[in-house]
Every structure is written in C-alpha cells, then in structure tokens.
Homo-oligomer: A and B are copies of this chain.
Amino acid sequence: MASEQPNETPTNPAIPAPSAEAGPCDEAAAPSKKGAKKAEAKAKKEAEKARKAAEREAAAAATAAVAAEDHAKDNYGEITKDKKIEAETMHLRDLGEEYIGKSIKLRAWIQNSRMQGAKMAFVELREEGSWTVQGVVAASPEGKPVSRQMVKWIGGLNLESFVAVEATVQKPLEPVKSCKVSGYELHLTKVYLVAPAPEMLGLGLAAASRAVGKLDDEEVGEGLEAKLEGVSITETTPAASLATHLNNPAMHKRAPVSQAIADIRIAVEDLFCEYLKERRFKKFHPPSLIAAASEGGANVFRLPYFEKECFLAQSPQFYKQFEIAGGRKRVYCVGPVFRAENSNTPRHMTEFIGLDLEMEIEEHYHEVMHMLEGVLLHIFKGLATNCREEIDLVRTVYPSEEFLLPEGGKEIRLTFAEGQALLRAEGPSEYANVRDDEDMSTAQEKALGALIRKKYNTDFYVLDKFPTDARPFYAMPDPENPEVTNAYDFFMRGQEILSGGQRLHLSHELEKTIRSKGLDPNQPGLKEYCEVLKSVGCPPHGGGGIGLDRVVAWYLNLPSVQLVADYPRTPKRLSP
C-alpha cells in the first residue's frame, strides 16, 4: 500500500528542508582534580553512579512494562547483537522496479522526520551523498511489524542519526518531490539505531547545504558580495559563516553541495593523472622535509629536526628537476606544498595540493606550454561531461556562468607585454601606466581577465614571457631578449592557477643567474641544487605547477578555495 501523505513540500532535492539548529555541542565534564579533591570526587562519583544505576533499573522496569504490551518491541531500538536484519542490503542508487514489493535492508541517515498523528511518521533517509528516499512507518494491530510505540520512537530520533532499516519497497501515490528517489518509498518494518546524533547539531544540514554567509577573510575578493547575492537562502534557515561550516566538518561535508565539490575535485586530479600517464609521464613523490629554504627563504615553515633544522617544501621544483636529471623524461606529482605566508584571502592557504609536471624539451619550451594547455583543456572538458550533475548541483547553491573555453580548441596566448598593453589601452584608468618589466597585481590580473573575456570569449588563457624580475632564479631567459623569460602563468576567470616555464639546465648558467639575483650559489639549499645539475648532463626541460583547489574554485566560481580543500589550512585555521 502506498502512503497517503507523501511529504509534499516541493523543494530542490539538493537542499534539505530547514531543521532545528543550535551552537556547537556541549563539552564533556571537566577532568577530575588531584589529591584530596580526587578522593572527594571519587566518592561523589560512586554515589552518583549508584543513584544512576537505581534510576536505570526503574526505567528499565517501566520500559519492560511498556514493552510487554508492545508487539513490535523487537523491531526497533538501539542495535544489539540480537537485533538483526536478514534482508539483502540495497543502495538507493540501485533502486528500481524489480524491488517493488520486496523486503530490503538499508543503512542511512535520518535527514528529516515528521509525525502524522500518533500512528504514522514520515522519515527522510539519506545514503551516499545526496541519495534520499521517503520512509513511511504506520502502526498496525498486533501481529503486524509496527506498533504505536515504535512510531513514536522513530519520530523522536535525532536528525543525522545513523540507522539500519528493514523495509518493503512501494510506489508512492504521487512522486516524492522532496527526495532524489521520488518514484519509490520505503515502508519500514524494522528500524535500529546504529549511531545517535546529538539533540542539537552545531550546523544543521539545511544551513550546511546553503552558500556560506560570511568568509571572514581580510580580503574577501572582488565581487564576492555580488556572487553571494543571487544565492537562495530561505528565511527560516539563515546562512552559516564559513567558520561555522569548517568548525563542523562532519555536517559541512554531509551537505550534497560539499560532496559534489569534493567529487569534482577528485575528478580534476584523476583527469590530470590520466592525461599525463597516457603521454608516458611517470609519477614520483617529492619530499616535504627539506634541508634548506630552497627559494630564497621567505614564507617558509621551519622546524627542529633532531640536532638540525629543517624546512617544509614550498614546491617540488628542485625535485622535479632532479628527476629529469635522473633520466626520467617526463614526471608528475600530486602532493601537499607549504607556504608560511600570512595572507588571509579567499585564494591563499598555508598547505595545498599541487599538481606538478616537468618534462624534457626537444626543440622549444612551448612544447611544455602546449602540454599544460592540453592537460587543463582535458580537465575542463572532462568535468563538463563526467561531472555535469555535480556542477549543476553546485550551481543551485553557488550560481555561476558556464566556464568559457577558447573556441575551436585553439589556445589564447598573450605575452606579458601584450597583456600590459591591453590593460593600458582598454583597462581601467589606474592601469594607464602599467610597465612591461613589473609584475601584475591580483587586481590587474582580474581586470585583464575581464578584457580578455570580452575580446576572446574565453575564461582560460596564458600569459607568456614574464619579465625577468618577476621570476625566480631558475627561469630560463628568453635567448632573444634577456629582459624576459621563457616563463608563463595560466589564468582562469582572471585568476592565476599555474606558474611555469623553462628552467636553466646548464649549471654554469644557473649559477650566473643566481648571482645576478643577489643570491649565493653556495648557500645551503642552492648548493645542493646546483650540485645535482652539475653532476651529470641534464637535458633542457620545463614544467609547471597547478593549484588543485584553485582550479576547482575558479571553475565553479566559488567564493573561496577553503570551500574546496578537504581540510583547509590558513594562518588562522589549523583545526579540525
């Protein structure tokens, strides 16, 4: 029999209905004190224990009395060894016509519940991200699996508790619009509580499923307010701040939008690796612990290491080059890099995942640029096809325009000087005098991104030939013009996501450039680096490093990279 009262609020299944919420959960009692206090506390505890035991006994007796009259008493309650469900386990994604009338087992979270009088309850069950289904439980006379007591107990379970249920699959009278699985409902015959949620959640699923309300960064990023304006926040569920989201990781992650972002992030990494593996790139793992601050010493974390000192790698740069010197023609790596930069912006983190590659150059460094463009286009196209559903779900929460790719698959490349010229000619008046030999600011980059979008109809482009002063000592100078380098940045929606270029592969030239930058090739870190390149004949090579979280954030036009990283780390956040 189909239920007569399907949950009828016609909402977006991606955003659960509002639910009760409160501040962070209460903390456990303070630990016991020393000495005399300890003894006292112990005595008190014993007394309390005895009192509680008595209470429990009384309660148990009362429950037993009630249970005696409860014909369904074995079909619900906290799970124990004896409470078993024999039916086959089913996953909501697999639910189809062949299950109608059959008894199945499901393990899921209680997303919502609603009593309908004293004899009936509707329970929204969620499994694996955003898969939800309506559960119905209705009390019947003796001999049937459900009692009034059972309905009441189920209706009283805290939201986000985890349960194991036995149910019969039925067709509802009307599609259940509030659930992703709208064509079936589950008539519950057993419900066992596997793990209870607290009465008050630090962050409810409804708020977790909405756009963050406040970023709490020093620099919130241009256009964030505009970005968040279009977002649908119901009146009953106020938006939670980014901090509240991140302080409640389990609930933040349970939101379908978070799961979709996490799935897109995995897809980006997989697409990156897939493309490179097909082109004979070999993976390796650079170390995080290194003996010297490799790239000048600024913004690097340092720590005691037995009798010595050590540093956290800011990039795998040197090690990628060692791999090339070591005879691997093409390498890539995926792993954390660390920046001790006190930047509180929506695009900075102190630890983030870098997608890096390095390869031999045969004739020209544009071979590398072409490879990097290729892998990024592969990622963008892969996302648009493989992650359509996830992207659409994210857009219901964080609206964004489709990410524009250059037409006909051809790349948009400008030299740095051409970019500056465009800014001077067509950009805001404050950029009328930008110079070709000075690096761009973030604001300049964004302004240029807008100009390029207008002119070339793309959100993805490359700036090549960066000025020498804007690049590190290992950048290869342009042989035609020593003022610029064979180095480039890649941009998405006017924001940098990749830095790379050709490297100096001849150690005498490298040492010369190190000196010209006012550094000493014999200083710790640089010395070992130069020695490796000097120790063998190292072929010409180049590469680039991609910030994984930035690619995802700017592709989806999210307000912060902290919504992408699994556990973002910033100057202010180390936990959880």
Contact = CB atoms under 8 A, between A and B. Distances in A.
Contacts of A252: 326
A96 interface: no
A286 B566 contact: yes
A249 B326 contact: yes
Interface stretch (A7-15, A158-166, A413-421, A491-499): A158-166
Interface string A194-211: 111110011000000000
Nearest to A572: B306
Interface in A278-330: 282-292, 301-306, 308, 310, 312, 318-319, 322-323, 325-329
Given A107-B362, A574-B289, A197 B25 contact: no
Contacts of A511: 28
Contact of A362 (B89, B306, B338): B89
A272 to B, nearest CB: 12
A521 B288 CA distance: 31
Nearest to A308: B574
Contacts of A284: 262, 266, 566
A232 interface: no
Interface string A470-495: 00000000010000000000000000
A187 interface: no
Contact of A250 (B305, B322, B329, B342): B322
Find the residue from A249, A282, A540 having the highest chain B CB count within 10 A: A249
B30 A567 contact: no
Protomer copies: 2
A530 interface: yes
Find the residue from A25, A301, A312, A567 having the highest chain B CB count within 10 A: A567
A437 interface: no
Contacts of A328: 253, 259, 262
A263 interface: yes
Contacts of A306: 340, 342, 571
Nearest to A565: B285
A148 B546 CA distance: 50
A357 to B, nearest CB: 15
A236 interface: no
Interface stretch (A116-124, A450-458, A531-539): A531-539
Interface residues of A, number: 105
Contact of A289 (B302, B310, B329, B569): B569
Contacts of A569: 287, 289
A335 interface: yes
A197 B536 contact: yes
A262 B310 CA distance: 26
B322 A576 contact: yes
Interface of A: 24-25, 27-28, 30-31, 81, 89, 107, 109, 126, 128-129, 158, 160-162, 194-198, 201-202, 248-254, 258-259, 262-263, 266, 269, 282-292, 301-306, 308, 310, 312, 318-319, 322-323, 325-329, 335-336, 338, 340, 342, 350-351, 353, 360, 362, 479, 505-506, 511, 520-522, 527-540, 565-567, 569, 571, 574-576
16 contacts: A24-B531, A107-B360, A109-B537, A158-B537, A161-B537, A248-B535, A250-B533, A253-B326, A253-B327, A253-B328, A254-B327, A262-B328, A285-B336, A288-B336, A289-B351, A301-B304
